[in-house]
Amino acid sequence: MINRLVLNNLRHRPVRTLLSVLAIGVEVTMVLTLVGLSYGMLEESNRRTRGVGADVIIRPPGSSVLSLSSAPMPEAMVPFFAKQEHVAVVAGTVVHPLVFPESVTGVNLEKFTEMSGGFRYIHGGPFAGPDDVIVDEYYARQNELKVGGQMELMNRNWRVAGIVEAGKLSRIFVDMKVLQDLTGATGKLSQIYVKLDDSAATAGVIAKLKAALPDYNIYSTEELVSLISVNNIPGLKAFIAVIISLAIIIGFLVVFLSMYTAVLERTREIGILKAIGASPSYVLSVLLRETVILAIAGSFVGILLSYATRWTIHSLIPASLQQNIVPEWWPWTTLIALTGAILGTLYPAWKAASQDAIEALAYD
Partner 1 sequence: MTDAIIRVEELSKVFRVGEVDVHALRGVNLDVPRGEFLAVSGPSGSGKSTMFHILGGLSKPSSGRVTIDGKDLSVMTKTQRNDLRKRTVGFVFQKYNLLPTLTASDNIEIARTIANTDGEVRDPWFDEVLDMLGVSKRLDHKPRALSGGEQQRIAIARAIVNHPAILLADEPTGNLDTKNSDAVLKLLRELNHRKGQTILMITHNPEAAEFADRIVHMRDGEIVESPHHG
Q: For binding to partner 1 (CB under 8 A), which residues are involved?
A: 1-2, 4-5, 8-9, 11-12, 268-269, 271-279, 282, 357-358, 361
Q: Residue 146 or 268: which CB sits closer to partner 1?
A: 268
Query: What is the nearest approach in angstroms of partner 1 to the Cβ of residue 255?
Result: 20
Q: What is the signed CA dihedral for 303, 308, 311, 316, rounded to 10 degrees?
A: -140
Query: What is the nearest approach in angstroms of partner 1 to the Cβ of residue 274?
Result: 8
Cα-based angle 161, 165, 171 (whole degrees, multiple of 5)? 70
Query: What is the nearest approach in angstroms of partner 1 to the Cβ of residue 344?
Result: 22
- Residue 268 makes CB contacts below 8 A (sequence gap 6+) with 360, 361, 363, 364
Query: What is the nearest approach in angstroms of partner 1 to the Cβ of residue 287?
Result: 14
Task: Give the span between the Cα atoms of 104 and 176, in whole angstroms.
Answer: 10
Q: Residue 11 or 83: which CB sits closer to partner 1?
A: 11
- Alpha helix locations (H) across the chain? 2-12, 14-51, 77-82, 109-116, 137-142, 176-182, 202-212, 221-227, 236-265, 267-275, 280-316, 330-353, 357-362
Query: What is the nearest approach in angstroms of partner 1 to the Cβ of residue 337?
Result: 24
- The angle, 0 to 180 degrees and rounded to 10, between the axes of the packed helices 280-316 and 236-265 is 130
- Residue 182 makes CB contacts below 8 A (sequence gap 6+) with 96, 154, 156
Q: Residue 201 or 272: which CB sits closer to partner 1?
A: 272
The DSSP code for 65 is: S
Q: Which residue type does 288 have? A: L
87 half-sphere exposure, CB direction, 13 A CA radius: 20
Query: What is the nearest approach in angstroms of partner 1 to the Cβ of residue 285?
Result: 11
Q: Residue 240 or 272: which CB sits closer to partner 1?
A: 272
Q: Residue 9 or 116: which CB sits closer to partner 1?
A: 9
Q: Residue 212 or 358: which CB sits closer to partner 1?
A: 358
Query: What is the nearest approach in angstroms of partner 1 to the Cβ of residue 278?
Result: 5
Q: Which residue type does 116 have? A: S
SS3 sequence of 242-257: HHHHHHHHHHHHHHHH
Q: Residue 1 or 200: which CB sits closer to partner 1?
A: 1
CB neighbours (10 Å) of residue 170? 22
